[in-house]
Chains A and B, each alone.
Chain A
């Protein structure tokens, strides 16, 4: 047992500014063997967690927590498991998964954890240091569950913690992990990567990305439920201050000019009405948008702003700059460009591009569009309203494949 002694002394050194959020310990975590993916215990545990979450009175106030509770249900897990029904390979967790989660998307850490858990890993999850009510509620549910039931298989393999950004915990956890999952964009990835991981360990990184939308103007005009689409678009964007990697920054309007003109008018005014009702802008939002817009304009790109108020800025592009992804905005700041042929967007698609959020196109047509173009970017083609829904394939990674080890027996 010499090995664990070394660990303990090492831990004493780093543990001082750690806050552990669930009933477990690092020693527990380090002595557990990995599980095979979609372990029955894990599925049962998540189902119980889902029930605990639904018991919370306040859950209705937090749509992200509610979505998480649905995600954890057994039915959903079975469905996810069934995707691999024909996969005969043996998949087992890589070992210790160290999750560095973003500080400003409240529930992201939970999805990262669940992906790690169903892949069979022991999970060390750094929870955002910022306080969010829904995060507190999540831990209420989790700790209730761990207290009232005996899922030690899971709780021994789980450690949620908070620690200061400057702590040497990152260094230590990196040095012992088998897979490190880094959310939080380019600058976080750079900083975390200064800490080495063992030779055979891997990083799964979620870098800064750019997402956009394509709307078929004619289909939109004929569509009956324009308000539901506005709500969907709102959930894709404003719900995360239009600052999630999945949030469209640019809207392509597809069709003939006459239709586009009409569609734009209805789409934006329907959205605006909803935004004014549901969204809160801070006093500096407008100043930020104006600064961004003028910064963009100094480059001499032909465009005009359509301005009703600071809830919603639209910038109509006359030409489509190749580096449009450099001019990201937030909190309701959209570029738009008219096209009559999907191929008009090809030139701008780089590795940066993540989600194409669409309305009014046949899936088969988009399939063909993707297959014909060998793009270096676009990882997700998702209907408007669904861009933020978590899936086990995220940002172009199949997380199950990345977080497990495949065992080959010949």
Chain B
């Protein structure tokens, strides 16, 4: 049995480089061995590498699985009958989705870790919560997606949940005004997807020339910048607008993968994402997968102690990023901090065979 409880007691951003390494390395080794023993697919994959999982592998040499594999194969390391929940990634129609298999233990530590990380921002008390989305995403099973899952996951930190968009994504101004009035002097929690907040909250306030005073609110948002980058919106602009129209200064973006649900990376006041003690980030050079230096961009590898029921504890993403530093961010959080630069571009492969429905293997 892997002793995961110990690390879960530690505050998310409280360990420096050496202390973190000391606790994380043996744990990740143990988890790798667990998956090697209990997932035939994982064992077959690792067998083809020149690495011996003897329990003493430096963290940089722990094998990593490209995230696409979770779309291609059912990967799990527990008895099938112990799987209580299967998460799937968002994906447009026709695209393969990642399938993540959770048993009771992994599901529970996901929640525990998410709580640790989020309460480092919101405090441990549940707050009145405003969701910048429509409740149709939750109610309508056909629409249920990563967005719905995200809302449900974060709703455990809120009370008096209010959805401020209708099912056509119109801003319910009355509802918003009522909520603001009611919780005037309280800390509140606003959650939503980056693009939804931009398009349906900020832009609507701008269009209707509405201003609110939500100075005691904290916003947590995620889901990526892809759509906003295409509209040329930068982090700073996003934050400036929230300040101007809603008087909100505490704005936290988060980065995370469905393959490592629970271990999210929160963006601090300095606009840096931070790796908590339960997870780690390594940036690798595209040329040979060697570890990049700080301030050198490359492919993001993510390590997390959470995935026990499936071999997602060390994954190679298709995102490009850069580690800015470690233990010395001005925000005071310890650990590595980094920036996301975007998705790796698909290779344009020459060849005789046209790719109509872009194959994935």
Where the two chains meet, the residues of A that have a C-beta atom closer than 8 Å to any C-beta of B are: 102-106, 108, 183-188, 191, 206, 208-209, 240-241, 243-247, 281-288, 290-295, 297-300, 303-305, 307-311, 315, 330-331
A330 to B361, CA, bound (A): 11
Whether B344 pairs with A184 at a CB distance below 8 angstroms is no
Given A297-B44, A298-B41, do A284 and B346 touch, yes or no (CB 8 Å)? yes
Of the four ranges (under 10, 10 to 19, 20 to 34, 35 or more), the interface on chain B belongs to: 35 or more
Question: How far apart sit A69 and B349, CA to CA, in the bound complex (Å)?
Answer: 25
Whether A294 pairs with B299 at a CB distance below 8 angstroms is no
State whether A291 touches B354 (Cβ < 8 A): no
Can you add 14 more A-B contacts, CB < 8 Å, to A243-B352, A304-B50? A104-B349, A106-B350, A185-B352, A240-B350, A243-B351, A281-B286, A284-B345, A286-B286, A287-B68, A295-B69, A298-B73, A309-B288, A330-B349, A330-B351
Q: Is the interface of B mostly helix, strand, loop or mixed?
A: loop
Interface string of B39-64 (1 = CB under 8 A from A): 01100110111100000000000000
Q: Which residues of A contact B354 (CB under 8 A)?
A: 102-104, 184-185, 187-188
**Chain B 318-361 interface residues, beta-carbon cutoff 8 Å to A:** 318, 320, 344-357, 361
Chain B residues near A283: list those with CB within 8 A: 286, 299, 320, 344-345
Return the chain B residue nearest A106 by Cβ: B350
Is residue B91 contacting chain A, with contact meaning CB distance below 8 A? Answer: no
Does A281 contact B345, Cβ atoms closer than 8 Å?
A: no
1/0 contact string of B264-290 vs chain A (CB within 8 Å) = 000000000000000000000011110
A303 to B354 alpha-carbon distance, docked (Å)? 30
Contact B351 A294 (CB under 8 A): no
Verify B353–A185 contact, CB threshold 8 A.
yes
| CB-based contact A295/B72 at 8 Å | yes
Contacts of A284 in B (CB 8 A): 286, 318, 344-347
B66 at the interface (CB under 8 A from A): yes
CB-defined A-B contacts under 8 Å, sample of 30: A102-B351, A104-B348, A104-B349, A105-B351, A185-B353, A187-B356, A208-B352, A243-B352, A244-B351, A245-B353, A282-B344, A282-B348, A283-B320, A284-B286, A284-B344, A287-B316, A287-B344, A290-B289, A291-B66, A291-B68, A291-B361, A294-B45, A297-B47, A298-B44, A298-B73, A299-B44, A303-B48, A305-B49, A309-B287, A310-B289
Looking at A245, A287, A295, A297, the one whose CB has the most chain B CB atoms below 10 A away is A287
Residues of B within 8 A of A (CB): 40-41, 44-45, 47-50, 65-66, 68-69, 72-73, 286-289, 299, 316, 318, 320, 344-357, 361
Bound-complex Cα distance A285 to B286 (A): 8
Are A297 and B350 interface neighbours, CB within 8 A?
no
Taken together as a complex, chains A and B put the C-alpha atoms of A374 and B110 apart, in Å, by 59
Complex: A270 Cα to B145 Cα, angstroms = 50
Residue from A241, A243, A290 with most neighbouring chain B CB atoms (10 Å):
A290
Interface centre among A240, A247, A282, A283 (most CB of B within 10 A): A283
A290 → chain B closest CB, angstroms: 5
Question: B353–A184 contact, CB under 8 A?
Answer: yes
Contact of A310 among B44, B72, B286, B318 (CB under 8 A): B286
Docked-complex contact B47 and A282, CB < 8 angstroms = no
A187 to B357, CA, bound (A): 9
Q: A291-B68, A298-B73 are in contact. Are A102 and B287 (CB under 8 A)?
A: no
The answer to whether B287 touches A281 (Cβ under 8 A) is yes
What are the 6 tightest A-B residue pairs by CB atom distance, in nearest-first order? A243-B351, A185-B353, A309-B288, A283-B286, A184-B354, A284-B344
- The CA-CA distance from A282 to B344 in the complex, in Å, is 9
**Contact status of A305 and B287, CB under 8 A, knowing A184-B353, A245-B353, A284-B318:** no
Interchain CB contact (< 8 A) of A304 among B40, B41, B48 = B48
Q: Report Cα–Cα, A246/B318, bound state, in Å.
A: 30
Residues of B within 8 A of A281 (CB): 286-287
CB of A99, distance to nearest CB on chain B (Å):
14
How many angstroms from the CA of A297 to the CA of B311 in the assembled complex? Answer: 15
In the assembled complex, which residues on chain B have CB atoms less than 8 Å from the CB atom of A185? 352-354
Q: Are A208 and B41 neighbours in the complex by a CB distance under 8 Å?
A: no
Contact B66 A290 (CB under 8 A): yes
B353: nearest residue on chain A (CB-CB)? A185
Evaluate contact between A206 and B352: CB separation under 8 angstroms.
yes
Kindly report which residue of chain B lies nearest to residue A243, judged by CB atoms.
B351
A184 in contact with B352 given A295-B72, A308-B288 (CB within 8 Å):
yes
> In the bound complex, how far is the Cα of B361 from the Cα of A295, in angstroms?
8
- B353 pairs with A292, CB closer than 8 A: no
Residues of B within 8 A of A299 (CB): 44
Q: With the chains together, A247 CA to B349 CA distance in Å?
A: 13
**Cα distance A208–B316 in the bound complex, in angstroms:** 30
| Distance, CA A371 to CA B57, complexed state (A) | 53
